[in-house]
Structure 1
């Protein structure tokens, strides 16, 4: 902005000039009379002219004057006066505006900072929750894996215990058998000879016991044997175990096969015979396949093929409604008989009395 300059002119009416040698002080009293009132229009002009009347009292002591001198002056006022009058107000308003703007800026900054902090906080919390959830899922998977491992170990231990029990029973049976043999060996030789004589007598009658002696079974090629070929002797009987891979047979088909060999399906009479048979069968295909034995249900009674009633009852599934029985490998000795339907196909066991001669 350009600097405003005020100009004033003073005109003396009498045309007198001030004395040169004036020892006393001059006192000037003036009064300013505004000829035209200032309006909004005049205030906006660059130069405003103010007329004032100046009255001099005792201006000169040496020359008294009875008449007051009136001096008119023109005062030109620019924008500087208005700035001096309105400057403080504008500056105060500006300072208030600046203060308000600064306060508003600070408040906006604090709000933005608060919002950013809240967003960061919730983001961190969400990340922590996701991380915790991932850790929990990993722990859950690990626990499930450990649970399955423990279940598998438990099953393995159960199977091992069962096998140990079976082996214990087998060893017990073999122990009893060897004890009997030892007792027989310690008997008086005379007694042994008498028993051998009696045995020979009974052997001479062995052929008579057969209604139709199967000579082709016991005496192939003219040489008689205690058991037929591929049969296994246990005490007074011979046993045939069908180890055929296929085709397997139903219960009826298995019995017909045994009868064609002048024998029948096996009849288990005691615990020793059960142990003998159980130790010679083998696992095949799956745990439900086994070997047919000569036991079936007739009139709700379990009858062997020799028409004797069963008294052992080594059942695996006693509540079944099926009427035929086979013996399986992977079960305890006294829980190895499984009730099953006749149409199921299995291997089988035949039994015939040994030919002792």
Structure 2
């Protein structure tokens, strides 16, 4: 007779939980490695000193993530997500702080020069009797005009604005220092200088705002591209072609500016969840296949190399044969399997089925659903005077 059946199977909760935690640990470990590379890069560029507090906090959190990977993978994943969020703008802030520090250094130099000019002005007060009144008055006016330029520069709050207006202010300063000043036209000179300074500072603020917006867009674009590259690298290591294809579909939208970070995070979270589900299902199927192979060998079957047909969503095909010619075949899908015991005499096929199938639950924790018989071939009924049970069926897992 022949015997074909289908059964559903499932992994016990404890084993399924452990498979899930292993998957979370591997994925989180890969993303944590990317975060460590970024922190190391900041230190290599000597940018960490400009964001010492945030950098130290990120290092502490990274150490915690790596500790939790062994103790609590889910907590490690959550902490690593928080670390990734902390690090998204850390590079731009470090560069901004470095630029601010450099501008502060230039401001200090400028202040020192201004202090020297003030000291020179004070010395000139004691030397007025040795100089002509007109020369002293002209120099005083010149210093007042230079002070107007200095105050205009200090009125700019940000380092970018100061950098942008520096060439124009320097040119005006040199013009005042080198040219003679007609004291009769002092009011007009001061008025002209005031208007020129207003034009320069206004232009600097406008350009700084445009640069800041462009830099923010570029930084956001860079962050999103970096997030995509990290995801591609991780899933390439995991050989998850489905996840890679979905991520590559996001790239044109990110490059085209059609997606913000929140939407990208949502898409990637969904992709990661789907990948975890696929990996968990495949791990469970491997567990079922491994159990079948062991029990078939234990029952005396010679087994051909298992084959995957129809891709990951298809079925793993197992074919086994006894020296007597009796055959057993299994098709294990992601949540069910079908099997066939063929070329048996009488009810011998049921004996082999009982050697293999019950042990999947007892030894491997695989629960088999109700058997659905799809075909039978009752050989030798007349000889045994009994109706043989169905010889082909299926079970869900």
Q: TM-score, normalised by structure 1?
A: 0.27
- Structure showing greater Rg: 1
The structure richer in helix per residue is 2
The structure richer in strand per residue is 1
Q: TM-score, normalised by structure 2?
A: 0.25
The answer to which structure, 1 or 2, has the higher relative contact order (CA under 8 A, 6+ apart) is 2
